[in-house]
Amino acid sequence: MFNSRNPACRYPTGAVADCLPVHFKIDMPRDLHCSAARLLVRSDSTGEVQTLEMFWCGMNGDNHEWWECHFAAQTPDLYFYHFEVTTWRGVLNLHKGFGGEGTVMGSDTQEWQLTVYDRSFHTPEWPVGGVMYQIFPDRFFASGSPKKEVLEDRRLHADWTEQPEWKPNKKGEVTNSDYFGGDLPGIAEKLDYLQSLGVTCLYLNPIFEAHANHRYNTANYEKIDPLLGTEEDFRTLCSEAEKRGIRLLLDGVFSHTGSDSIYFNREGRYDTAGAYNSQESPYYPWYAFRRWPDDYACWWNFQTLPEVTETNPAYNAYINGKGGIVRRWLEAGASGWRLDVADELPDAFLDALRTAVKTEKPDALVLGEVWEDASTKSAYGKRRRYLLGGQLDSVMNYPFREAVLGFVRGEDPAQMMEMILNLLENYPPQVIRLLMNHIGTHDTERALTVLAGEPAEEHDRPWQAEATLTEEQRRLGVQRLKLASLMQFTLPGIPCIYYGDEAGMEGYKDPFNRGTYPWGRENAELLAWYRQLGKLRAVLSCLKEGRFTPLNADDHTIAYVREDSVDAVLVALNAGENPRTLYLPDEWRTAQPVFGEAPDRNCGLTLPPCSGAALVLQKHPSPSGPFPLGKPETPEEAVESIKDKIIENIERNPKIKNELLDFLKNI
């Protein structure tokens, strides 16, 4: 009778701008003798329900008839709707069922959602179609610059390959005070490597002065942590990255500070009087003391993380005002902010932060950490309005992570596809194109471990610390990770690689998922695969904002198409243990395979167990000729390619060639 994802029933589908009319049509069987139909729309913010009479508008074949109406929301909001129809059986309620379809069966009273956003809502262009890469700065690469003078009470590991400390000290505390020395100059040294992966945006976990290796306990927002480098190092990193088409996204931790900070100063490290030291401190009004100085509000009851009152005028001005923290670091070279625990930041603070960001740099990105469907997220008893146009540009996409990893591990493909389609229906298109699609972060187990290891909840921390994948598990994990990453790189949004996933890193949650990057010990097969995925993102127009059309979701298999006016890609994935053959529409008969094999003459695509395929169609001839992406290199081919490049460079440079010949003669 109705399907919210079918343009014949609802046009346009998905989220819409305010004041844009939405056309609703329901298809009623004639044998119900429908005499009236109504659309009931409820505003989420006011609770007001509008009843719109629907009109008979013609036959759909001999046995069905159409009823229709229009609805236009005048203000950005969430709206929830269902239908009432008067029939010979009485008044029937048409509610949302699986897949967006309408149902009058059972007791399910779920309503459809219509997200209406501000028509002036715009998001940056530069991230669209790119690749993000998340770096935990202490663990990526150490430049070798001297560190002794900035260690103080920090312990620097002697061996880069050691495991991070995880055991409590004698007081039963986990201090996170062990470091490996990764720094900003080290990241700058590896920019060519990041460019080889197709990276266009670097997301850095916190880099400001703090007294734990994760740096989520900020000590001074105005200063780069000395173990990471200086402000000059940061500016150089931004400048060098930009030369390679890479922008930087900073982590903004604004819901709390560290107790060991110039603002609170509980540990007495700083000469300034913090809120803990004096009620006359300029920082005292930032915090909520129940009884000064030891009883105060803190983040998730961690005494080392005192919460700030974000709406305090002085704090808000310090972060969001002219010359404040947000604008200062954008001026220094950053291209946006990722907001830690965005659901714990008040609306007024988020409004002010967006204004500050867009005033300083209109194309800067504001990305929020939200673990659920951000369009319906409630926090502190209030529905949040992150995505309606005045706050976030987009969010970290944890629901997609659940869908991707769930599918690859054998969960119901139809349910996993439904999770994807629900978000695509609920989010504004300008949010969708910037979704941070990750399959692992510093807060989750490594993707390889999730896909092939034993569930973390079945084992204690000592077991997790010692656990590594067996050779058989690792082979399976690599296969599954290739499948998951192919899906990750081709869904709407922007894929984000958690540093080292492309190298085959494994590990359970913090700190086991925060090991050091294994330079020189990478999994060559995975690395070649990720580089090929990066090339795919770079050359396909449809992966920027192309339509998403599901083709199949059953029996361990998912298939879908991304398409725009320039090109199209069909992605087919088999997570099962047996081969599957999918029969494709005829137009894909001549498609070029970039992953997997080409369809046979009957347009059947055979997928081996735990494998995927990507087929590309070009709608218009490319000026550069055929689609510029070959099959992925094997590790052996990659080595030969490197050899060829070395020889080619030697031949081009006579001086190097002569020096090499002299060297060979001497030995």
- Do 100 and 202 lie in one domain? The reply is no
**267, 294, 309 - which closes a domain:** 309
Whether 191 maps to a domain, the answer reads yes
Per the structure, how many domains does the chain have? 5
Is residue 657 predicted with pLDDT exceeding 90?
Answer: no
Whether 231 maps to a domain, the answer reads yes
Among 388, 387, 383, smallest CA distance to 397 is for 387
- Do 243 and 261 lie in one domain? The reply is no
* From 369, 393, 501, 502, the catalytic residue: 369
pLDDT value of residue 290? 97
Tens digit of pLDDT for each residue in 158-189? 999 999 999 998 888 889 999 999 999 999 99
- 369 is known as an active-site residue: yes
Whether 19 maps to a domain, the answer reads yes
Tens digit of pLDDT for each residue in 51-89? 999 999 999 999 999 999 999 999 999 999 999 999 998
581: domain CATH number is 2.60.40.1180
Name the pLDDT band for 661 (thresholds 50, 70, 90).
low
pLDDT value of residue 173? 86
Segment (H or E) for 133: strand 132-135
- End-to-end alpha carbon distance in the chain: 83
Tens digit of pLDDT for each residue in 330-377? 999 999 999 999 999 999 999 999 999 999 999 999 999 999 999 999
Of the candidate ranges 165-169, 498-502, 535-539, 660-664, the one whose mean pLDDT is the lowest: 660-664
* From 18, 65, 307, 340, the catalytic residue: 340
State the pTM of this model: 0.92
Name the pLDDT band for 386 (thresholds 50, 70, 90).
very high
Name the pLDDT band for 643 (thresholds 50, 70, 90).
low
298: domain CATH number is 3.90.400
Whether 380 maps to a domain, the answer reads no
Q: What is the DSSP string of 248-312?
A: EEEEE--SB--SSSTTT-TT--SSS--TTT-TTSTTGGGB-EEETTTEE-BGGG-TTSBBB-TT-
Is residue 506 predicted with pLDDT exceeding 70?
Answer: yes
**For residues 299-310, b (16+ Cβ closer than 10 Å) or e, as one string?**
beeeebbbbbbb
| Mean predicted confidence (pLDDT) in 20-41 | 96
pLDDT value of residue 152? 77
50: domain CATH number is 2.60.40.10
Is residue 651 predicted with pLDDT exceeding 60?
Answer: no
- One-letter amino acid identity for 584? L
- Do 293 and 220 lie in one domain? The reply is no
- Do 86 and 141 lie in one domain? The reply is no
- Do 68 and 93 lie in one domain? The reply is yes
pLDDT value of residue 636? 57
| Mean predicted confidence (pLDDT) in 188-217 | 98
pLDDT value of residue 619? 84
Among 42, 40, 49, smallest CA distance to 77 is for 42
- Do 104 and 153 lie in one domain? The reply is no
- The residues, ordered by sequence, that sit 6+ positions from 150 with a Cβ below 8 Å of its Cβ are 226, 227
- Do 90 and 151 lie in one domain? The reply is no
pLDDT value of residue 153? 83
Is residue 624 predicted with pLDDT exceeding 80?
Answer: no
Helices (H), 427-523: 429-432, 447-452, 461-466, 471-490
**207, 231, 250 - which closes a domain:** 250
- Do 209 and 285 lie in one domain? The reply is no
| Mean predicted confidence (pLDDT) in 136-159 | 86
- Do 199 and 291 lie in one domain? The reply is no
Residue range(s) defining the domain that contains residue 190: 131-166+177-250
Whether 148 maps to a domain, the answer reads yes
| Mean predicted confidence (pLDDT) in 472-492 | 98
- One-letter amino acid identity for 593? P
**207, 227, 250 - which closes a domain:** 250
16: Cα separation from own chain's centroid? 23
Whether 501 maps to a domain, the answer reads no
- Do 244 and 302 lie in one domain? The reply is no
Average pLDDT, the chain: 93
Whether 33 maps to a domain, the answer reads yes
Name the pLDDT band for 658 (thresholds 50, 70, 90).
low
Is residue 90 predicted with pLDDT exceeding 60?
Answer: yes
Is residue 616 predicted with pLDDT exceeding 90?
Answer: yes
Tens digit of pLDDT for each residue in 219-269? 999 999 999 999 999 999 999 999 999 999 999 999 999 999 999 999 999
Name the pLDDT band for 145 (thresholds 50, 70, 90).
confident
pLDDT value of residue 103? 85
- Do 297 and 194 lie in one domain? The reply is no
Task: Evaluate whether 262 touches 219 at the Cβ level (below 8 Å).
Answer: yes
What's the rounded Cα separation, in Å, for the pair 388 and 382? 15
Name the pLDDT band for 641 (thresholds 50, 70, 90).
low
Of the candidate ranges 152-166, 401-415, 438-452, the one whose mean pLDDT is the lowest: 152-166
Name the pLDDT band for 650 (thresholds 50, 70, 90).
low
Whether 420 maps to a domain, the answer reads no
Of the candidate ranges 498-502, 538-542, 625-629, the one whose mean pLDDT is the lowest: 625-629
3 state SS of 196:
helix
Is residue 106 predicted with pLDDT exceeding 60?
Answer: no
